[in-house]
Amino acid sequence: GESVGLHLPTLSVQEGDNSIINCAYSNSASDYFIWYKQESGKGPQFIIDIRSNMDKRQGQRVTVLLNKTVKHLSLQIAATQPGDSAVYFCAENRDYGQNFVFGPGTRLSVLP
Amino acid sequence: ETGVTQTPRHLVMGMTNKKSLKCEQHLGHNAMYWYKQSAKKPLELMFVYSLEERVENNSVPSRFSPECPNSSHLFLHLHTLQPEDSALYLCASSRQSGTGGYTFGSGTRLTVV
C-alpha cells in the first residue's frame, strides 16, 4: 500500500521543527476540506477537517489554515516527529456531498 | 485497523485472468468507494455506491466491474486487464453526508503481467 513511485513534491524537515504543507484547491464553491496522511503500506488516514466558515482549526500538534480568497489550504505540524513521515493529501468537497477531490499530495520526510 | 478491510493485500495476475478484490466495513457507513492510486494519478475515483446503488461510474473501462451486495461489502471484479492497470486499489467508506470524510482500507497492490 505504499506510495513509492509517485513523483511528489517533497518537504524535508528536521526532527523537532515545525512543518507546513500547502495545498491549492480548485473549486471556489468547495466548503469542506480534509487533510489525509498516507503512511507506507497503508491507506490515507483522516487527520483534520475544516469547514469554509472557519479560517483556522487546531488539533493535537496539527493546525489547518484556510484562505478562501486565494483558494489555499495549509497543514501545520508542530514539533515534527519521525512518525510524521508520510504523504499528505488535501481533499475538497462541496455541499457535504459524498465526493471529495484529492490534491496530488506532498511527501514529508523527517530528518534525524 | 481502520475498520475497512481489503483482501487480498497483494495480487499478481495475467492479462487473461479473472480475479476479484474484496472490501468490507462494519462502521455503519452507507456509502462505499473504489479509488485507483498510481504513479501518474495519485487518487482517481472509480466508483461510488450509496445505499447499495451505484451513483457514479467515473469513465472506468468495462474490464473493471463493481458489485455492492449490501452496505457492508464491496467487490471489484477484474478481467482481461492491461499492464497499465497495475496500481494500488483503495476502498473507502463514509457516511452518506460525507461529513468526517472517508475511512480507507489499506489497499490491494495489483500487478498485471
What pLDDT was estimated at residue B101?
A: 85
What pLDDT was estimated at residue A4?
A: 36
Closest approach of chain A CAs to the CA of B4, in angstroms? 10
Q: Report how many Cβ contacts below 8 Å link chain A to chain B.
A: 72
What pLDDT was estimated at residue B98?
A: 66
C-alpha cell read off for B86: 497495475
Q: Is A39 exposed, middle or buried (0-12, 13-18, 19+ CB in 10 A)?
A: middle
Residues of chain B short of pLDDT 50, as ranges, are none
**Banded model confidence at residue A1, pLDDT cuts 50, 70, 90:** very low
Spatial contact of A100 and B98, defined as CB atoms under 8 Å apart: yes
Q: State the best of A98, A99, A101 to mutate against chain B, taking most chain B CBs within 10 Å.
A: A98
**Banded model confidence at residue A7, pLDDT cuts 50, 70, 90:** low
B19 three-state secondary structure: strand
Closest approach of chain A CAs to the CA of B9, in angstroms? 8
Enumerate the residues of chain B whose CB falls inside 8 A of the CB of residue A32. Answer: 98-99
